[in-house]
Structure 1
Amino acid sequence: MLISQSEMVDRLVSHISADKNFRAIKYYGFLSNRKQGEALPLVYDLLDQEEPVESKPLNYTQIMHYLARIDPYERILCDDRMSFVSTVFLNSCNGIIKSINDIFYSL
């Protein structure tokens, strides 16, 4: 049995009953997990489109520059820039107090 592409799409769409099931169409054809890696670049070529490039996630400083237009590491009083040394993850108030004591007594 040989059918046209438009008839194939019509038959496939006829099996979609409600809006909640519409996402099931992504599991067929070139969007299926098995075929996506090899077929999707071909689809982009046929449509004369560039493949989307994944961007790097923004860090805290870049987000603050973009959203608030401020430099979070800027020292207001001396017009200098702070440097990031490390991150401390604490589980309890005792950990916070211990870390504060360690910082102040090490000066």
Structure 2
Amino acid sequence: MVRYFGFLANRVCGEKLPQVYRALGMDKPAPVAKVCYAQMVKQFLSRDPFECVLCGGRMVYRRAIAD
């Protein structure tokens, strides 16, 4: 429940977390690089999601359709 209350709550996290870092004498952490879907699949499943299962060719991502 700590995540939803106190300094980790979504509403005040941006305001309170720098104060916590200063109180503990810590440096602000560097931003984490964003990982896309294809990179996650390659890392966890050891498989290229854009490789065709029939011919082994490279598929091209065009767009995502949401209903």
The normalised TM-score by structure 2 is 0.52
Greater helix fraction, Structure 1 or Structure 2: 1
Q: What's the CA shift for 1:47?
A: 1.7
Q: Bigger CA drift: 80-89 or 62-71?
A: 80-89
Q: What's the CA shift for 1:62?
A: 1.7
Which protein is bigger by CA-based radius of gyration? 1
In structure 2, how many angstroms separate the alpha carbons of the residues matched to 1:68 and 1:62?
10
In structure 1, how many angstroms separate the alpha carbons of the residues matched to 2:20 and 2:65?
47
- Measured on the aligned residues, the alpha-carbon RMSD in Å equals 3.4
Unaligned runs of 5+ in 1: 1-21, 91-107
The normalised TM-score by structure 1 is 0.38
Task: Decide whether aligned partners of structure 1 residues 47 and 83 sit closer, same or farther in structure 2, where only a CA change above 3 A counts.
Answer: same
Q: What's the CA shift for 1:89?
A: 4.1
Residues 22-41 of structure 1 aligned to structure 2 (within 5 Å): 26=6, 31=7, 37=15, 39-41=16-18
1:70 has 2:52 as partner: no
Residues 1-107 of structure 1 aligned to structure 2 (within 5 Å): 26=6, 31=7, 37=15, 39-52=16-29, 53=31, 55-56=33-34, 58-75=35-52, 77=55, 79-89=56-66
Unaligned runs of 5+ in 2: none
Give the aligned residue type for 1:65.
Answer: K
Give the aligned residue type for 2:17.
Answer: L
- Work out the percentage of aligned pairs sharing the same amino acid: 23
Higher normalized contact order (CA 8 Å, seq sep 6+, divided by chain length): 2
